[in-house]
């Protein structure tokens, strides 16, 4: 077997390294595979980001450039930011949405943790049955519950009121959120609870001062998902909110651009509003991605 000789200098001395042709071939193959992977990743990134980049660039085009019949081009010929003035039209709707988001983002994770705490940290009669019933609700299609829920909201006088968009946040936070929190809490050592009891802490203090602060990752995961879901929600506001003053930004956006003629003539404004609506989910993900990934790992694997 033949070896190639490489000479390198280290601390003033000369060292001779012998590398077999098989090792060099394996290195070249590994480098080639890595290059192919990066090339494929780069192509996919360009493919998936192209529509988003086109949307942003089109939002800076003048209205004349986006009229029907004009040739499609990627970069604006006349750069303008006037299209973003359309955001002011939805100011009230954005405020409505932010109020709904704030209440849901606070109370859905909190109520999910309240429900999950006894199921994850204690043993009691009927625990397995209760957990099974909670998880069984995941199998019920949401469309089946639309009519009964609407009837219930009508009888309680919640239709055409913003409270209809956050009343559910106080009742457990949803089966999947409860499941994630239970799995996360099970990963926490119970010796902390026992030590707190010895110091005289009651169950509420154990939950509020010890367990809940340690669930920060899973709470952030649930809260971010709630914010993104509520920000982009269309179905629930469409069913329960009738007055234009109480519309959320998604519903107002739909009504404003639902006319095809208006949408085609104001396509630059449409792209500007789409760009603005995409900023919040992107900012949340970039800010909390580490906490979200940590919450998924621990909540989904340990149990």
At what angle are helices 91-121 and 127-136 packed, to 10 degrees? 150
Which pLDDT score is estimated for 301? 46
Which pLDDT score is estimated for 75? 85
Instruction: Provide the 3-class DSSP secondary structure of residue 40.
Output: helix
pLDDT digits (tens, 9 = 90+) for 32-63: 899 999 999 999 999 999 999 999 998 898 87
Residue 60 has φ and ψ, to the nearest 5°, of: -100, 5
Locus of tokens 């019933």: 133
Which pLDDT score is estimated for 303? 43
Query: CATH code for 86-301?
Result: 1.10.3720.10
- Rounded to whole angstroms, the Cα distance separating 300 from 182 reads 10
pLDDT digits (tens, 9 = 90+) for 232-289: 889 999 999 999 899 999 999 888 888 766 666 678 888 899 999 999 999 998 888 7
Q: Which residues make Cβ contacts (< 8 Å) with residue 92, sequence separation at least 6?
A: 245
- Rounded to whole angstroms, the Cα distance separating 203 from 211 reads 10
Q: Which residues of the chain have pLDDT under 50?
A: 1, 3, 5-10, 299-303
- Rounded to whole angstroms, the Cα distance separating 290 from 80 reads 36
Locus of tokens 């902390």: 192
- Rounded to whole angstroms, the Cα distance separating 68 from 39 reads 37
Q: Hey, CA dihedral for 60, 93, 219, 139, is it positive or negative?
A: negative
Which pLDDT score is estimated for 201? 87
Go through the chain and tell me how many residues it has: 303
């Amino acid at each position: 077997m033949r070896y190639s000789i490489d000479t390198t200098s280290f601390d003033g001395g000369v060292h001779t390294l012998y590398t077999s042709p098989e090792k060099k071939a394996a290195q070249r193959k590994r480098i080639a595979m890595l290059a192919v992977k990066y090339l494929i990743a780069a192509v996919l990134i360009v493919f998936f980001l192209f529509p988003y980049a086109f949307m942003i660039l089109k939002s800076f085009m003048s209205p004349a450039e986006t009229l029907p019949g004009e040739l499609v081009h990627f970069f604006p010929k006349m750069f303008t930011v006037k299209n973003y003035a359309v955001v002011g039209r939805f100011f009230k709707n954005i405020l409505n949405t932010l109020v709904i988001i704030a209440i849901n983002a606070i109370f859905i994770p909190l109520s999910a943790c309240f429900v999950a705490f006894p199921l994850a940290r204690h043993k009691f009669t009927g625990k397995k049955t209760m957990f099974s019933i909670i998880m069984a609700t995941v199998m019920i299609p949401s469309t089946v519950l639309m009519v009964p829920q609407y009837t219930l909201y009508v009888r309680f006088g919640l239709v055409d009121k913003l409270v209809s968009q956050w009343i559910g946040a106080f009742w457990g936070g949803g089966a999947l959120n409860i499941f994630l929190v239970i799995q996360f809490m099970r990963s926490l050592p119970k010796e902390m609870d026992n030590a707190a009891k010895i110091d005289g802490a009651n169950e509420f203090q154990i939950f509020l001062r010890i367990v809940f602060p340690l669930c920060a990752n899973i709470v952030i995961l649930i809260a971010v998902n709630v914010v993104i879901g509520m920000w982009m929600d269309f179905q629930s506001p469409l069913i329960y909110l009738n007055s234009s003053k109480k519309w959320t930004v998604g519903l107002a956006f739909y009504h404003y651009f639902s006319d095809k003629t208006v949408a085609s003539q104001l396509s630059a404004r449409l792209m500007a509003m789409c760009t603005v609506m995409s900023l919040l989910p992107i900012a949340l993900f970039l800010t909390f991605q580490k906490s979200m990934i940590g919450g998924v790992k621990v909540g989904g694997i340990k149990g």
